[in-house]
């Protein structure tokens, strides 16, 4: 059992390392499949022994071997987060390989969106389309009775986000957020999709308040909403039923 946990953690670290590379290269139109890893500061090639997930960062004390500049903490943070998520997903879905696989794929898409939206301020349409296509295929093959119902909810909640976008003239919601909504809202059945959207706004509000308090943001200045949509999606994937039991009763009083 412990061996399985270690394998899952290792898988998370490796995939996290890939996401670190992908989220940096993809928005810049750099090939993320071919090509050696390189230091973004001195541009020199990174040897394989300096590219071991998490361990290399620790052994190098967070500095590039060549230029001695500080390595961004984004890399170990993404790797650690990925390892933790895959471990939590395995603990919850170890008896259902399909769910573990689907949730793992959705994690990779979602965490990529979190990082790219924070760093570049965009949600790549390619990731949204990929997530929706996987969702549609999953519904067709395994949840055939929910296909039309879930897709309807997906478009309905996307239209709701589009309304916010139009009313605020893009300041309260970007079109990337509108399009991304279609993917999780279609995968999550009612009432999970509503709880997901509600949780996204709650997280966004809380983080927004803290950013303003610590003067990292200002009133009227847009804050990327994609990270909250994607993070809430991952939370609901893992603990959706618990959230239903916690939140739904609140609306009965």
Q: Is residue 122 part of a domain?
A: yes
Q: Mean pLDDT across the stretch 14-24?
A: 93
pLDDT of residue 11: 95
Binned at pLDDT 50, 70 and 90, residue 251 comes out as low
Domain co-membership, 103 together with 66? no
Q: Is residue 34 part of a domain?
A: yes
pLDDT digits (tens, 9 = 90+) for 71-101: 788 999 999 999 999 999 999 998 888 999 9
pLDDT of residue 253: 46
Provide the whole-model pTM: 0.91
Query: For residues 144 and 116, what is the distance between their CA atoms, to the nearest angstrom?
Result: 33
pLDDT of residue 248: 65
| CA dihedral sign, ordered 98, 242, 193, 200 | negative
On the question of pLDDT at 43 being above 80, the answer is no
Other C-beta atoms lying within 10 Å of the C-beta of residue 45: 12
Q: Is residue 183 part of a domain?
A: yes
Domain co-membership, 76 together with 117? no
Query: For residues 17 and 10, what is the distance between their CA atoms, to the nearest angstrom?
Result: 11
Domain co-membership, 238 together with 171? yes
Three-point CA angle 199, 205, 208, nearest 5°: 135
pLDDT of residue 219: 61
CB 78 within 8 A of CB 18: no
pLDDT of residue 56: 82
Domain co-membership, 102 together with 224? yes
Q: Is residue 173 part of a domain?
A: yes
Q: End of a domain among 64, 84, 104? A: 84
On the question of pLDDT at 51 being above 90, the answer is no
Domain co-membership, 17 together with 41? yes
Domain co-membership, 194 together with 250? yes
Domain co-membership, 140 together with 221? yes
Q: Is residue 162 part of a domain?
A: yes
pLDDT of residue 33: 78
Domain co-membership, 128 together with 20? no
Q: End of a domain among 84, 119, 134? A: 84
Domain co-membership, 34 together with 156? no
Q: Is residue 216 part of a domain?
A: yes
- Comparing 128 with 240, which gets the higher pLDDT? 128
pLDDT of residue 82: 96
On the question of pLDDT at 69 being above 70, the answer is yes
What secondary structure, in 3-state letters, does 13-81 show?
A: HHHHHHHHHHHHHHHHCCCCCCCCCECCCCCCECCHHHCCCCHHHHHCCCECCCCCCECCCHHHHHHHH
Q: End of a domain among 84, 119, 154? A: 84
Dihedral (C-alpha) 181, 102, 140, 153: value to the nearest 10 degrees?
-20
Domain co-membership, 33 together with 120? no
Domain co-membership, 66 together with 148? no
What is the residue-wise DSSP string for 212-236? Answer: HHTTSS-TTS----HHHHHHHHHHH
**3-state SS class at 100:** helix
Mean pLDDT of the chain: 87
Residues 6+ apart with CB under 8 A from 124: 26, 27, 112, 113, 116
pLDDT digits (tens, 9 = 90+) for 159-187: 999 999 998 887 778 899 999 999 999 99
Q: Mean pLDDT across the stretch 32-42?
A: 75
pLDDT of residue 135: 95
Structural domains in the chain (count)? 2
pLDDT of residue 161: 93
Domain co-membership, 251 together with 158? yes
Q: Is residue 89 part of a domain?
A: no
pLDDT digits (tens, 9 = 90+) for 105-116: 999 999 999 999
pLDDT digits (tens, 9 = 90+) for 187-235: 998 889 999 999 999 998 898 888 877 767 666 567 889 999 999 999 9
Domain that holds residue 34: 1-84
Q: Is residue 90 part of a domain?
A: no
CB 204 within 8 A of CB 223: yes
Q: How far is CA 42 from CA 37, 45, 64, 76, in A?
A: 12, 9, 9, 19
């Amino acid at each position: 059992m412990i061996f399985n946990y270690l394998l899952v953690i290792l898988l998370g670290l490796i995939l996290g390392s890939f996401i670190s590379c992908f989220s940096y290269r993809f928005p810049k139109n750099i090939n993320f499949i071919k090509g050696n890893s390189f230091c973004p500061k001195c541009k020199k090639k990174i040897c394989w022994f300096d590219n071991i997930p998490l361990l290399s960062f620790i052994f190098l004390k967070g500095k590039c071997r060549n230029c001695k500049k500080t390595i961004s903490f984004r890399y170990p943070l993404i790797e650690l987060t990925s390892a933790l998520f895959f471990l939590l997903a395995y603990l919850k879905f170890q008896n259902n390989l399909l769910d573990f696989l689907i949730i793992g794929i959705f994690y990779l898409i979602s965490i990529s969106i979190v990082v790219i939206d924070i760093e570049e301020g965009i949600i790549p349409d390619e990731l949204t389309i990929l997530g929706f296509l996987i969702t549609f295929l999953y519904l067709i093959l395994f949840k055939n009775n929910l296909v039309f119902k879930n897709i309807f909810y997906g478009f309905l909640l996307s239209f709701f986000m589009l309304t916010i976008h139009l009313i605020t003239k893009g300041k309260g919601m970007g079109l990337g957020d509108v399009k991304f909504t279609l993917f999780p809202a279609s995968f999550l059945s009612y009432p999970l999709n509503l709880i997901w959207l509600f949780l996204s706004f709650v997280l966004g509000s809380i983080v927004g308040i803290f950013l303003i308090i610590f003067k990292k943001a200002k009133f009227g200045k847009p804050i990327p909403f994609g990270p909250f949509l994607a993070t809430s999606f991952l939370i609901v994937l893992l603990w959706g039923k618990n959230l239903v039991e916690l939140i739904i009763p609140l609306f009965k009083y």
